[in-house]
A and B are shown apart, each in its own frame.
Chain A
């Protein structure tokens, strides 16, 4: 069954087509990579799934239910979590607080629970703290121990990326959207994270969509690759078939003889 199904979707910013008549689907348990040259509309694609951008036309179905007209928080509540291309942590909150706040939509305690310190409140606090630590320990010892109560701003770049993934995991999603998870990491770190992405599926049962520029990562993790260019899907299939597709090569390298339309810059 298709977990996420996107039908004939377009997003327009004042006459500029960021996405055009896009069809896309993800099956449960799949890892799909979305690649494409800069400005191909990849981040817009994520923004649109997570409800931060409203599509101009088309339909998004998640487990058979439409995601249109939902707030980002409601999308997350339905089981889709994401990370950001330019890591956006709550820098002045502690590492533990970062993963605790991400469980907001899975918890229910309101003002009175906190004021009266009810049993339910206390057990919920303990539960989300434990789950938070569990999520953090997925990345080894880097984010736990004495780190738990340090502000996120002291973390190194790679650890910030890891914490961002942990934070997305803490929302207890079924579909995880990772926006360039290894950008800025060295080869060793990126290889390690690639392995972790595989474990995210096998151990945690997440279905994953990744935007990535690093082709070795794409090759290693993806079941299927979708190539976007100028807001349109130009190819999809296994890594090998896509990598050899002339259209894809053209999108990345340009045509031998310059086409007039190819100069059109799509900026986002």
Chain B
């Protein structure tokens, strides 16, 4: 691992001042520390954001606001999440292990990198790791790769379960950019397809930071399911997953949401929303 400096600013303003191009924000570390061990990420400075950003779930004006530093396990056990957006709690519990869920943050879940084996194998070409080198998975070991929205530059998938539920429920991502202005990115626009820049997973502007996620008031708390098909029953990434939610009124389906996971470069690609 390349040596790096370490700092832990106490406020968002100080975080943004500390952010330089060679620096990277550290939240739970469950993905970034691993990437650093494999030399896929080699920041010159780490900025620990764990005390500067919110670790609270709040109900504000009907919206459920999940702070960027809320740990995955805290989402799953939060009473407001369970009553307002139980689909989110179910999706979180379908991912990773209890130890990792105790560490991993909400913001970090969105920003985690693909688990494509070639992305992690630095001896093979990978357009996501090293733009322009080619895609080894395209004709390689790709049974867990994308089946929609891919191109010949990249067939990687986004591995998150949480994000699939957030896509189904029309969440929005609250971001503070490098100029310290707050911007809101709709969840469906946050991640991107590989296009000509598979090295970029999402539309988060350079040096910006996710501060929280909003889930709008929704009628889907009663009827929902998160189904995940994988190689073993627990602690495995999805071959495919689906977040499904129904709004049933008077015995009729008034509204339905379906979002897929584990099949595309962005979670919820092919998300269907329909109103009667």
The answer to whether A and B belong to the same complex is: no
Point out residues on A near B: beta carbons under 8 Å: none
